[in-house]
A = this chain, B = another copy of it.
Amino acid sequence: MTKPLLQMALDSTDIDTAFESVSRVAEQLDVIEVGTILAFAEGMSCVAKMRKKYPNHIIVCDMKVTDASAILTKLALEAGANWVTVSAAAHIETIKAAKKIADQHQGDIQIELYGHWTLEDARAWYDMGVTQAIYHRSRDAELAGVSWTDQDLNKMQKLSDIGIELSITGGIEPADLSLFKHIKVKAFIAGRALASDKGLVVAGSFHNEISKFW
């Protein structure tokens, strides 16, 4: 199994705060995420600025595309993103159109697993060429202060068995990583933990745990 990447989600409402957050840990990151908030606040110019500042990182634009996928995917990729997120609630034809544009740009799409998606959906995505999805810890669990549930892990395992690589997010901490050792993990996504004063230490801990289990 390939080694999971470390991804930082940037969800400020302005690019300067985002730059400040990412600059402290950039060398420890594989993937920089222009979050939905930042993308909507500043528009695609923030993706272009991020690409200019970080020419060698993978950049993902978290658009959660639900419709008009060809145009939105093109906007993000032409601004400098490598990957664009697409909502699991999008129609299969919408997902197909996004994938086609991504392929043309040597980019990729990632399915954001929100709403009542099914394993049948997941198989249809995979059959169409989709190999990436983003798994969020269930909001109920997060709100209830519960860690990763067996239900979460079972769903992840099933997606992984289909062949889909997962980027995992939702208050994830280095100590959690061993939970996912049997899953095809594309990236672990953290935000606030990496933006804190202890960001570099946290990034180091993520890499240590990744080396231990992958």
A1 proximal to B (CB < 8 A)? no
Closest CB pairs A-B (n = 4):
A89-B115, A43-B43, A89-B89, A116-B116
User: Complex: how many Å from CA A64 to CA B89?
Assistant: 11
Which chain B residue lies CB-closest to A15?
B43
A87 proximal to B (CB < 8 A)? yes
Copies in the complex: 2
Instruction: Report the count of interface residues on A (CB-CB < 8 A).
Output: 39
For A72, list chain B residues within 8 Å (CB): 36-37, 40
For A140, list chain B residues within 8 Å (CB): 91, 93
A42 proximal to B (CB < 8 A)? yes
Which A residues contact B (CB, under 8 angstroms)?
Answer: 11, 13, 35-37, 39-46, 63-64, 66-68, 71-72, 75-76, 87-91, 93-94, 112, 114-118, 136, 139-140, 143
User: Complex: how many Å from CA A68 to CA B91?
Assistant: 22
- What is the minimal beta-carbon distance from A117 to any residue of chain B, in angstroms? 7
A41 & B75 in contact (Cβ 8 Å cutoff): yes
For A89, list chain B residues within 8 Å (CB): 66, 87-89, 114-116
Which chain B residue lies CB-closest to A136?
B67
User: Complex: how many Å from CA A67 to CA B89?
Assistant: 13
Task: Report 6 cross-chain contacts, Cβ distance below 8 Å, ordered by A residue.
Answer: A36-B67, A36-B72, A41-B75, A66-B89, A66-B114, A87-B89
